[in-house]
Amino acid sequence: MANKFQKTIIFSVTLLTLSFFIPTPFVLAIDYPTRPISLIIQFTPGTTTDIIARKLGDVVSKELRQPLVPINKTGGGGTIGVAEIIRSKPDGYTIGCINMPTLAIIPHMQTLPYDPLRDISHICVISPYEYGLYVKGDAPWNSLEEFIDYARKNPGKVTHGSPGPGTTNHLIMVRIGKDLNLDWRHVPYKGDGELIPAVLGGSVLSGVGSPAALMPHIKAGKLKLLVVTSKDRWSYFPEVPTLLEKGYTYFQASYLSLGAPAGTPEPIRQKLEDVIKKAIQDPALKKEFEEKIYAKLEYISGEEFKKFIGEQFLFYKDFLKTIGMTK
């Protein structure tokens, strides 16, 4: 018969052995992170996305007490960076930036090595990509209505430029054109760096761009904003109305979000979401982003975003089919 001492030993050893079977996520979330986290950025340094990611990364690093190491993996409109996130180990030590088109639009245009609906564990949205329709500063139109009117009277003559085919900038104009039965033509460019000079020089009559890209030109009067295609008006030009206000039932919805590879333990994902949510809801940080880099910080939960992506995916599947841009 085992004495008390022996029983205690057996009991302790059993307990100890059993403890190895405790699901590790609980242990991990308390310790996480114990080493630097890679932050994959899908655009080149100097772009708004990159600046947002790095600045946010700094703030979050302080909170987590481990550095967020930015790694730029560019190309394919963001798909290369996203593919990199998905291939990484789902241990919570690799996360990255995702721009919505890589999940909702591009998969319909080309075969990608990932499943956009299943391979990402969304952390949360950090910023909406906001855009507006602009024309040359001395153009004769001062509102969206005037521009559309002109397009109606001059079919085939009005051109709208975009930073690339399949971007939401391109597609929003196609959508408006289809809804109103307008014959306006899309002229594709590679990025704002080519598009803006084209509008300034008059080769293309309009473009759709972000506040960061347009700010200096609008302030100098070389370009003017006809309508803002994001959900809310811009704080920088509060007098310019939004599409929604004009009666359209949609807006150019695109977001910058953070994600981790699917399979990342939920407690870790939740911790990241909480920390980031706190950071982007900080009014001082929001103000800094808005004033210095013309970016808006907005939180949307990972759960909600996942649903949103699902909806957008289906929408674009049909939409792209009707305009013949599917693979």
Q: Which residues bind another protein (CB under 8 A)?
A: 44-47, 50-51, 54, 71-77, 79-80, 83, 109-113, 156-157, 159, 164-166, 185-190, 193-194, 196-198, 200-204, 212, 215-217, 219-220, 222, 292-293, 325, 327
Residue located via tokens 């929604």: 244
Instruction: Identify the H or E element spanning 177.
Output: helix 168-179
For another protein, which is the closer residue by CB, 75 or 263? Answer: 75
Cα separation values, 98 from 4, 49, 116, 119, 129, Å: 59, 10, 11, 12, 12
Reduced to 3 states (helix: H, G, I; strand: E, B; else coil), residue 98 is strand
SS3 assignment, position 134:
strand
CB of 151 to another protein, least distance (A): 14
- CA–CA distance, 49 with 44 (Å, rounded to integer): 9
CB of 166 to another protein, least distance (A): 4
Comparison of 107 and 128: residue with beta carbon closer to another protein: 107
What one-character-per-residue DSSP string does 187-245 give? EE-SSHHHHHHHHHHTSSSEEEE-HHHHHHHHHTTSEEEEEE-SSS--SSSTTSPBTTT
CB-nearer residue toward another protein: 112 or 124: 112
Distance in Å, CB of 45 to another protein, minimum: 3
Q: Supply the minimum distance, in Å, between the C-beta of residue 23 and another protein.
A: 25
CB of 288 to another protein, least distance (A): 11
User: Considering beta carbons, is residue 9 or 293 the nearer one to another protein?
Assistant: 293
Q: Quote the CA–CA distance of 209 and 192 in Å, as a whole number.
A: 7
Nearer to another protein, 287 or 327 (CB): 327
